[in-house]
Amino acid sequence: MEKESAEAVLNCIDLSKVNIQQSVNLLKQSCTDSGFFYIINHGISQEFMDKVFDQSQKFFNLPLNEKMKVLRNDHNRGYTPLLDEILDPQNQLHGDFKEGYYIGVEANDSLDHKPFHGPNLWPASDVLPGWRETMEEYQRQALEVGRAVAKIIALALDLDANFFDKPETLGDPIAILRLLHYQDKISEPSQGLYAAGAHTDYGLITLLATDDVPGLQICKDKEAKPQIWEDVTPLKGAFIVNLGDMLERWSNCSFKSTLHRVIGNGQERYSIAYFLEPGHDCLVECLPTCKSDANPPKFAPIYYRDYLSQRYKETHADLLVYDKQQS
């Protein structure tokens, strides 16, 4: 049995604060401590958040055959059934006890050949009226929030505030909205059964909105043995923000991505993750402010598209399994 976990104490950054330096200091401290923090007063209204959660729930309540009509395509858009994803293959017996729905940046013809650009899949409008419009509006608002957080990150890394706004970075990001629905199962870590296996996120930052059912846990020190897991308490109206692996690589490990997982307590749970990631053509190489003679770059430069394709291959079922199941 694992020990009962304690509650993680996370900083809370108020995005409406005029004094940005205070936010920069708080963020810097969070990024070197846990890589997780809350943001409040981010500008997305509670009323609108409730609407997004309501639409998400409506989708997952549809019969399976309706959901399978929008099964994830090879651009990684659409529905991911229960157990599709296995985030921590070494420790998981089964895929995650969750179903999801990926929505990306809407297709742009000139980029169609790229694996993370392309057409979204949408449930038919007579089945879920207004669904697409709600999700598209959420994408717009979440991108604004993400860019505001990226500015504070840039300042915390002694970069120009607009460093991440370049066209190939957050000017044309791979921003992925993912609706999640966890089954009402109790996780059994000792038996390799998780709502979501331990993982780090891939990109720059993730903005996570959850309902009030707990379950998210973080492990501040990836290398510690045994690992120590702390609960992240949902905070009404706040986003839980965490740093992704690309930022760790970019910052030469000054800002680390943090291992996290979801433990089911027998209650259904809904969450919505917005993964803000650089564009396909962004060459991620050690930031100028994060290297010196004494601290040379630890990683080779890499195009973000190559990195992300590899990570998806490692963690998602091959789409061919669904052809087999349906034939």
Ligand X SMILES: O=C(O)CCC(=O)C(=O)O
Choosing among ligand X, Fe ion, none, which partner's interface includes residue 290 (Cβ < 5 to 8 Å by kind)?
none
Rounded CA gap, 207 and 278, in Å?
Answer: 15
Is 157 an interacting residue with respect to ligand X (CB under 6 A)? no
251-255 own/partner pairs: CB under 8 Å, 24+ apart: 251/157, 251/287, 251/290, 252/286, 252/287, 252/290, 252/291, 252/295, 252/297, 252/298, 252/299, 253/298, 254/31, 254/32, 254/157, 254/290, 255/31, 255/32, 255/35, 255/153, 255/156, 255/157
Site for ligand X in 87-146 (CB under 6 A): none
At its nearest, how many Å lie between Fe ion and the CB of residue 196? Answer: 7
Rounded CA gap, 141 and 246, in Å?
Answer: 23
Query: How buried is 326 (Cβ within 10 angstroms: 0-12 exposed, 13-18 middle, 19+ buried)?
Result: exposed
Is 308 an interacting residue with respect to ligand X (CB under 6 A)? no
Site string for ligand X, 171-200 (x = CB under 6 A): -------x-x---------------x----
Tell me the pairing of strands 36-40 and 12-14: parallel
Site for ligand X in 214-273 (CB under 6 A): 216, 260, 262, 271, 273
At its nearest, how many Å lie between ligand X and the CB of residue 260? Answer: 5
Q: Could you tell me which stretch among 49-57, 208-216, 289-297, 309-317 binds ligand X (CB under 6 A)?
A: 208-216
Rounded CA gap, 254 and 93, in Å?
Answer: 34
C-beta of 117 vs 199, nearer to Fe ion: 199
At its nearest, how many Å lie between ligand X and the CB of residue 122? Answer: 21
Q: Could you tell me which stretch among 30-38, 47-55, 157-165, 201-209 binds Fe ion (CB under 5 A)?
A: 201-209
Give the residue at shortest CB distance from Fe ion: 201
Choosing among ligand X, Fe ion, none, which partner's interface includes residue 208 (Cβ < 5 to 8 Å by kind)?
ligand X
Rounded CA gap, 203 and 205, in Å?
Answer: 6
The DSSP element (H or E) to which 149 belongs, if any, is helix 131-156
Cis peptide before 226 (omega within 30 of 0): yes
Task: Record the tokens describing residue 8, joined without a space.
Answer: 């993680």
- The count of residues interacting with ligand X (CB under 6 A) is 11
Is 211 an interacting residue with respect to Fe ion (CB under 5 A)? no
**201, 211, 248, 277: residue in contact with ligand X (rule CB under 6 A):** 201
C-beta of 262 vs 282, nearer to ligand X: 262
Is 210 an interacting residue with respect to ligand X (CB under 6 A)? yes
**96, 172, 201, 248: residue in contact with Fe ion (rule CB under 5 A):** 201
List residues binding Fe ion (CB under 5 A). 201
